[in-house]
Each structure stands twice: as structure tokens, then as C-alpha cells.
Structure 1
Amino acid sequence: MPARPFAALFDMDGVLVDNTDFHINAWLQFAHRHGFPLTKDQYVANINGRVSADAMAYVFQRPIVGDELATLTEDKEGIYRELYGPHLQPAPGLLPFLDALKVANVKLAVGTSAPVSNVHFTLDGLPLRPYFDTIVDASMIQHGKPNPEIYLTAAEHVGVDPAYCVVFEDAFAGIEAGLRAGMNVIALATTHTRAELADSGAALIVDDFTSLTVDAVRALTTGG
């Protein structure tokens, strides 16, 4: 009997690209400009993997909405793109792994908390967009990670039951979102160490994509 189709759902920042340090530095610069001191530990615990509205609310300690949210978000993301632009590259092993998944007819999706401008910057800048059957970004959901909406939406768009989806994440909020969606999660040790990820609930922890195979990922879906 043929193996049941499954889907691979990827976060973008810290997964498709190993850019965490650039985001951290951009947030630190942005917060400093606006008179709000921010540390790396605060970023990791309260900002990484979350949609801009939640991240900005943490930095400014008040709700940020509407035009103000849009302006501040682009301010911060402009800093990030300026810092990371000269270094933009896919994560180690990503392209061969995506090629193998496509050959195996695996459905592929991106589920990212990033704003649309950064999605264009990354997926079109490399380019990675042609690999993916659907892209779900922050503008398409009501609730950011760790709410499972983004991954449930991605699964719906590719027509695959959540039990047959595997999520690739680097952030605790994203790992929780994948687990709450009823999916297995592969954690990449880019933002957090393997030790820090050990109790995250991830089914597998890897440094990058170089050692991953389609069969290893398929084995994590319900029924193998």
C-alpha cells in the first residue's frame, strides 16, 4: 500500500534561514532607539516566534495597533533587512532536503509570524518561494504563535490532516503551536541549544537539515 501523503510545514526565521542573531540585534537597536532597553534573554523569552503586535506590546508595555503598529513594524524590519541583507542564505542542507521532499510529492508550506515584507525579502530573495505549495504569514491569521492557528491554516491550505503534518521550528512559541495543532515537531537548534530544547516536546532535535531524510520525517507522522 502506498504511504499516505504528508506535509512538511516550516517556520521561516531561524529555520529556512539561520538569522536569529540578526533579528536579535535589530530588536535591540529598535528598542534602544525608542527608549526601551531590551536584552537578548528578554527577546528569546518574549518576542522570538511571536507576531509583531504581541512583540511590540511587550517592548512598549501597551497595546500597539493600526497605523502605529504598521509604522513601528517596518521600522524594526528595515533595521533587520539592512543587517541581514548581505548575509542572506538558506540554512545548511535546506535546498537538497526541499528537493528530496518535492521529489517525494510531499506537500510543503511556510507558517511564519513574520510580516509580508520579510516574507518577500527571504522567500523571493533566495529564492525559496517556488518550493512551497502555500505561504501563511502574519497577515492571514487572527492569533499568533503559540496559538496553533497558523499551522492548522497551513495544513488546511495543503489539504493534509494535521496528524500527517510535521512542523519545523526553532522557537518555543512555534513548537507549542505545532504541538497544539496535533502535529509532531522537529526543532532546529538555532535559537536555543539542544539542552534547552530537550523538554520542549519536539520529537526530534537537529542542528540543521543536512542529516534529515524524507523517510525520517515521514516516520514522525501518525501511522509512519
Structure 2
Amino acid sequence: MMGRERRLVALFDMDGVVLDTEGQYDLFWIEQGKRYHPGMSDFYKKIKGMTTEKILEDYFGGDMDLQQQISRELDEFEKKMSYPYVPGVENFIRVLLDHGVRIALVTSSNNMKMSYALKAHPEFTGYFERIITADKVTKSKPDPECFLLAAKELQMETDVCCVFEDSFAGIEAGRNARMKVVGLATTNPAEKIQGMVDWVLPDFTGYTYDEFEDLWLFK
């Protein structure tokens, strides 16, 4: 099997993939949409996978005071959030580690948010060799910069990398990086992402290493 010939790489997005937090974020951004973009009913869906900086630039540009206010409100919100795991992900990560897979966390969250997640889950430092946050990149997903940086930091080629993503922007970023992409149907329905990814999972429950390795058998 391929995994015995060379090491594979798993690059995990955080929210909606490792952590089951997307529902909480929906509440925050739905409220912002009602306040500042009342004519845009799906505002909270449009910003999925974007860095906060990109959201503020694209949807609140030109009003620095408002941008700073929303940043402060988001920071307070993230401080109080809960950070539960997506079902099965911890076990799957441990299985990958047992098979020698290189693992990184690649998120659109900034360092401040990551500090809250690490406080809730100090074990992250044992799970992930590298943590790529929004503060390490200049371009937001769907640009592939974050995934390419993760591969570079791990000193691995893109053709052995698999991205685990839930948002359209993240899935597109993985595709743009020319990596395998597994889509988590935690944020978008499976039928919406089916044609964009190599495999779709409802969560990680029962997902095996052999199924992960088999991704490289198909073009």
C-alpha cells in the first residue's frame, strides 16, 4: 500500500472539522448580518472559511471604527464559546499518528482565537506538528497559501497531502493546492459538496486509516 512506501500528510481545518463550533459562529454572524447587511439573508454562509480580516475588509470596508467594534465583539464571543470535538476526530487523529502520518492544523482563526482553543484542548500540541493560523498567511481561503505553507513547514510534497475541510472556501483552497480533499458535511449538506471533494464524511465516526490511504488509489 502507498502509505508504507511514503509518509502521508493530513491537514485539518479547525472549526467544523476538528471542533464542532460552526453552529455557535452562525449565531454571531447571523446577528451581524441582521445589523449591518439586512438585505443579505445568507450573509453568515457567504463568510464561511474566511479569515476575520477578510470578512471585515470585504463586508465592512471603509469603516474602521465598525471593524474594530466587530473584532472586539468577536473576541468576547470566542472567549465564552465552548469547543467540543467533532465526533470521532480524536480517535482518527490518534490512528493517523500510529501510522506515521504527518498532521497539521490549518485554520482561518487568528492567534488569539487559537489561544482559547488551546486552553480548552492543550492536547492539540501533541496532535499537530504545526499549527497554521490566519496570522501566518497574507491571503484567505480559497487561496491555497495556508495549505501550501503547512506542506512547506512539514517539508512534504503536495501530492501526499490530504485536506479535511467543511466550508466551500476551504474545500476550494485544498483543490487549489492540488491536494486530496475530504469534505465534512458538518456545515454544508453532503450533496452540496459531493462533486467538489474526493470523499464526504458526516463526521469521523468509524472512518479508518485504510479508507484514508485508499484516497491515493483514485485519481
TM-score (norm 2): 0.88
Corresponding residue pairs, total: 216
Contact 1:163 1:222 in 2 (8 A): no
Counterpart in the other structure of 1:111: 106
- The structural deviation recorded for 1:13 is 0.6
Corresponding residue to 1:124 among 119, 122, 128: 119
1:132 and 1:97 map into 2 onto residues whose CA distance is: 13
Code of the residue aligned with 1:52 in structure 2: it is T
Q: Whole-Å Cα distance in 1 between the matches of residues 59 and 104 of structure 2?
A: 30
Q: How big is each residue's C-alpha offset from its partner over 1:3-22, in whole Å with a ceiling of 9 and x where there is no partner?
A: 21010000001111111110
Distance in 1 (CA, whole Å) between partners of 2:213 and 2:96 is 10
Shift of 1:73: 2.2
Q: 1:81 to 1:221 in 2, by over 3 A?
A: farther
1:50 corresponding residue in structure 2 = 50
2:35 corresponds to 1:37: no
CA contact (8 A) 1:8 1:167 kept: yes
For residue 90 of structure 1, report the CA deviation from its aligned partner.
1.1
Structure 1: runs of 5+ lacking an equivalent? none
The worse-fitting range, judged by mean Cα deviation, of 124-133 and 143-152 is 124-133
Counterpart check, 1:172 vs 2:168: yes
Question: Is structure 2 residue 189 aligned with structure 1 residue 189?
Answer: no
Helix, strand or coil for the counterpart of 2:5? coil
SS at match of 2:215: coil
Q: Is the 8 A contact 1:162 1:183 kept in 2?
A: yes
* In 2: Cα distance, 1:132 partner to 1:108 partner: 5
* Cα separation, partners in 2 of 1:213 and 1:58, compared to 1, 3 Å: same
Aligned position for 1:138: 134
Deviation at 1:40, TM superposition (A): 6.1
Distance 2:177 2:39 in 1: 31
Alignment correspondent of 1:162: 158
Distance 1:90 1:39, change over 3 A: farther
Query: Percent identity at matched positions?
Result: 31
Shift of 1:70: 5.8
Secondary structure at the aligned position of 2:42 is classed as helix
User: Pick from 144, 151, 173: which aligns with 2:147?
Assistant: 151
Paired amino acid for 2:12:
F
Q: Separation in 2 of the partners of 1:18 and 1:64?
A: 32
- How far residue 151 of structure 1 moved from its aligned partner, in angstroms, is 0.2
**1:99 offset after TM fit, Å?**
0.8
* Amino acid across the alignment from 1:54: K
Change (3 A) 1:63 1:208: farther
**SS in structure 2 at match of 1:8:** strand
Q: What are the superposed Cα offsets for residues 88-147 of structure 1, whole Å, 9 maximum, x if unpaired? A: 211100111111111111100011111111112123312323210000000000111000
Is 1:13–1:19's contact at 8 Å kept on the other side of the alignment?
A: yes
User: Structure 1 residues 27 and 151, CA, compared in 2 at 3 Å: closer, same or farther?
Assistant: same
Separation in 1, partners of 2:166, 2:118: 18
For the residues of structure 1 that align with 2:39 and 2:26, how far apart are their CA atoms? 10
